[in-house]
């Protein structure tokens, strides 16, 4: 996997540019990787709904849950679907609107200095093996492109916004991810 450090886009993956992003604050580096879990409607996988949410085109009338989130202006840098395919919404050099009000190690507003990676899933549904492999490959490519991420923490949305968020949930296997990352490094 190759990431262009100038543009911040992954070469050869599906792109669905989101308007829900902006420039990172001057002087903010990439110092954190945040793992999220998402499904629309909750617990259902596949379909166009995540793309539609991240591009502000989610139709409120299509599902009762959509009416509660269609006005949100959110995004992520990348979504990893159940089969391990990647979709990039925001260039890594820009700030994606994925973390909201958040804090990590005393630093507020994690969007400023983090990469947001969504996994298609739910807190109580095991993530697919292909997703772990794709996530480890993506983290490896991010670290190759931005060495600051070698020392960066990898956390869940629940870790930086514990009063608001539970994702990626107890079904996410942190040990499995760590082993895959160790295997790649060693």
Task: Please check whether residue 94 lies inside any domain of the structure.
Answer: yes
Mean pLDDT score, 63-81: 97
Q: What is the CATH number of the domain that holds 119?
A: 3.40.80.10
Domain residues for the domain of 129 are 14-19+28-38+76-185
Q: What is the pLDDT of residues 11-48, one digit of tens each?
A: 999 999 999 999 999 988 899 999 999 999 999 999 99
For the entire predicted model, the pTM comes to 0.97
Task: Please check whether residue 8 lies inside any domain of the structure.
Answer: no
Contact 99, 160 (CB under 8 A): yes
Task: Please check whether residue 169 lies inside any domain of the structure.
Answer: yes
Question: Of residues 11, 57, 108, 118, which has the active-site annotation?
Answer: 118
> Which residues, other chains included, contact 148 with Cβ-Cβ below 8 Å and sequence gap of 6+?
29, 30, 31
Task: Please check whether residue 179 lies inside any domain of the structure.
Answer: yes
Give me the number of domains the chain comprises.
Answer: 1
Task: Please check whether residue 178 lies inside any domain of the structure.
Answer: yes
Task: Please check whether residue 61 lies inside any domain of the structure.
Answer: no
101 a catalytic residue: no
């Amino acid at each position: 996997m190759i990431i262009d450090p100038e543009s911040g886009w992954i070469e050869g993956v599906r792109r669905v540019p989101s308007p829900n992003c902006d420039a990172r604050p001057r002087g903010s580096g990439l110092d954190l990787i945040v793992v999220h879990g998402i499904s629309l409607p909750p617990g259902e996988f596949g379909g166009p709904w995540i793309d539609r949410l991240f591009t502000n085109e989610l139709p409120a009338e299509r599902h009762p849950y959509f009416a509660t989130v269609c006005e949100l202006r959110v995004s992520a840098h990348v979504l990893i679907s159940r089969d391990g395919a990647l979709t990039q919404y925001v260039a890594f050099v820009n700030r994606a609107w994925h973390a909201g009000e958040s804090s990590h190690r005393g630093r507020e507003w994690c969007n400023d200095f983090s990469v947001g990676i969504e996994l298609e899933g739910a807190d109580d549904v095991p993530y697919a093996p292909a997703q772990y492999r794709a996530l480890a490959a993506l983290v490896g490519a991010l670290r190759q492109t931005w060495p600051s991420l070698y020392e960066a923490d990898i956390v869940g949305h629940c870790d930086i916004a514990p009063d608001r968020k539970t994702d990626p949930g107890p079904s996410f296997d942190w040990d499995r991810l760590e082993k895959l990352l160790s295997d790649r490094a060693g």
